[in-house]
């Protein structure tokens, strides 16, 4: 595949991720999402798209709580993803995981984890199993800059380097951990330097150009496949609040305006036009197809049935044990004894 067609592919993927999350946001406003927390990656699509395309079939990954884009980039079906976020029966985990806990082993998604840094060590297990079985796959842990302060990352990087595992640690540095700017959370921002000191191959991606990001990430991924684990930091900007209801009052309007101007999708669109790869009309047509795809996914999620009361407990508790009784039944039992 030529570089030119790669940019078209990457643009389409970023646009699909953005549109998917815009519809998820709509789903939330309409009261169709399960639970109150929803973390969008609008503005950060360059990370999911470049990494998602640079990984190969059968490679696996874990994500943090902001992982919709990564799952979509790895082949997640927007219909079943949206149904999961809505807590419906047709969701990837029958609606029992929701936005923050989607997983699908068939697509190599080893789980999303809401504990900051919690998904990182899983890739050590996956990497070890690939090495042990001589399988040509890698496993990637996706996490935010907040996880750079978690000890488990350093234990995992050390083991990956020591055992020469096919593992990659990908830090999506969106500049914030909830309301705390990264400058106020770390003494030294040289994340790659930290990883290098453990013996990892590193790259620090600061561009808005998704194509460049892809070509910088690819060799790190392929080196990992050959037993040299890697660390990739991708800088971007979280356009909106930490979660859907966060109005990010801790940020200056001026900063947000500047951050939102640095949009990887707008950058890719301009590059496509300037390099005469696509016309404005062709991009408009592509965007329309994507918009229709995500409308269908949203309607699918809304129409998907809820689980029955009995189904809700399945796969959550040990299936061989009796189901827990309701709190009301337990209180009545005490009162009547
Ligand atoms: C161990 C742990 N500490 C604190 C929290 C609360 N918490 C949830 S998200 C978050 C910020 C994480 O920031 P980052 O890792 O940069 O990811 P981002 O939300 O920016 O994508 C925090 C502190 C948590 N879930 N787990």
Q: What is the tens place of the pLDDT at every residue in 104-143?
A: 999 999 999 999 999 999 999 999 999 999 999 999 999 9
What average pLDDT does the segment 267-283 reach?
97
Across 28-105, where does the E strand assignment appear?
Answer: 60-63
Q: Does 128 contact ligand 1 (Cβ within 6 A)?
A: no
What distance in angstroms lies between residue 22's CA and the mean position of ligand 1's atoms? 22
CA dist., res. 292 & res. 82, Å (int): 14
- The reported pLDDT for the residue numbered 238 is 98
Query: Given ligand 1 and candidates 146, 148, 175, 181, which is best to mutate, with the most ligand atoms within 8 Å of its CB?
Result: 146
**How do residues 189-223 score in pLDDT, each as one tens digit?**
999 999 999 999 999 999 999 999 999 999 999 99
> Which pLDDT does position 230 carry in this prediction?
98
E-strand stretches of 13-73: 60-63
**What is the residue with the minimal CA distance to atom 19 of ligand 1?**
177
> In percent, how much of the chain has pLDDT > 70?
98
DSSP-derived secondary structure letter, 77: -
The answer, yes or no, to whether any atom of ligand 1 lies below 6 A from the CB of 66, is yes
DSSP for residue 34: S
Residue 4's pLDDT is what?
Answer: 64
235 lines ligand 1 (CB under 6 A): no
How many other CB atoms are there within 10 angstroms of residue 251's CB atom? 16
Which residue in 111, 18, 9 sits closest to 50, CA to CA? Answer: 9
pLDDT, mean of residues 311-328: 77
Is the beta carbon of 146 within 6 A of some atom in ligand 1?
yes
Task: Please tell me the predicted confidence (pLDDT) of residue 35.
Answer: 79
pLDDT tens per residue, range 17-55: 999 999 999 999 999 998 778 999 999 999 999 999 999
Whole-angstrom Cα distance, residue 287 to residue 268? Answer: 13
Ligand 1 center to residue 283 CA distance, Å?
Answer: 36
Give pLDDT tens digits for 44-102: 999 999 999 999 999 999 999 999 999 999 999 999 999 999 999 999 999 999 999 99
Ligand 1 nearest-atom number relative to CA 116: 26
User: What is the position in ligand 1's atom list of the atom closest to the CA of 182?
Assistant: 16
pLDDT confidence of residue 280: 98
Point out the ligand 1 atom lying closest to the alpha carbon of residue 39: 19
Question: For 134-173, how does the pLDDT look when each residue is reduced to its tens digit (9 = 90+)?
Answer: 999 999 999 999 999 999 999 999 999 999 999 999 999 9
Average pLDDT of span 220-233: 98
pTM recorded for the entire structure: 0.94
CA 65 / ligand 1 centre spacing (Å) = 8
Mutation choice for ligand 1 from 67, 115, 116, 259, CB with most ligand atoms inside 8 A: 116
How far, in Å, is the centroid of ligand 1 from the Cα of 143? 9
CB of 174 within 6 A of ligand 1: the answer is: yes
């Amino acid at each position: 595949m030529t570089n030119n067609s790669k940019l078209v592919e990457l643009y389409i993927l970023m646009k699909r991720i953005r549109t998917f999350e815009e519809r998820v946001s709509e789903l939330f406003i309409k009261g169709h999402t399960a639970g109150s927390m929803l973390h969008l990656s609008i503005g950060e699509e360059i990370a999911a798209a470049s990494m998602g395309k640079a990984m190969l079939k059968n490679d696996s990954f874990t994500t943090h709580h902001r992982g919709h884009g990564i799952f979509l980039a790895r082949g997640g079906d927007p219909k079943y993803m949206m149904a999961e976020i809505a807590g419906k029966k047709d969701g990837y985990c029958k609606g029992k995981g929701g936005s923050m806990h989607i997983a699908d082993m068939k697509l190599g998604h080893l789980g999303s984890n809401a504990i900051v840094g919690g998904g990182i060590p899983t890739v050590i297990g996956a990497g070890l199993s690939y090495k042990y079985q001589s399988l040509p796959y890698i496993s990637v842990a996706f996490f935010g800059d907040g996880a750079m302060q978690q000890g488990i990352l350093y234990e995992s990087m050390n083991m990956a380097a020591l055992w020469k595992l096919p593992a990659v640690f990908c830090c999506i540095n969106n500049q914030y951990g909830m309301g705390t700017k990264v400058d106020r959370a770390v003494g030294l921002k040289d994340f790659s330097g930290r990883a290098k000191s453990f013996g990892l191959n590193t790259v620090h991606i600061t561009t808005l150009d998704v194509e460049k990001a892809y070509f910088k990430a690819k060799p790190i991924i392929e080196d990992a496949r050959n037993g040299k684990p890697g660390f990739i930091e991708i800088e971007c900007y979280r356009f909106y609040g930490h979660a859907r209801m966060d109005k990010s009052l801790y940020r200056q309007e001026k900063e947000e305006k500047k951050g939102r101007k640095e949009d990887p999708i707008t950058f890719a669109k301009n590059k496509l036009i300037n390099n005469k790869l696509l016309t404005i009309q062709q991009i408009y047509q592509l965007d329309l197809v994507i918009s229709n795809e995500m409308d269908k996914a949203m309607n699918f999620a809304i129409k998907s049935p809820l689980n029955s009361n009995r189904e809700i407990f399945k796969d959550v508790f040990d299936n061989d044990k009796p189901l827990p009784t309701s709190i009301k039944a337990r209180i009545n039992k005490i009162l009547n004894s």
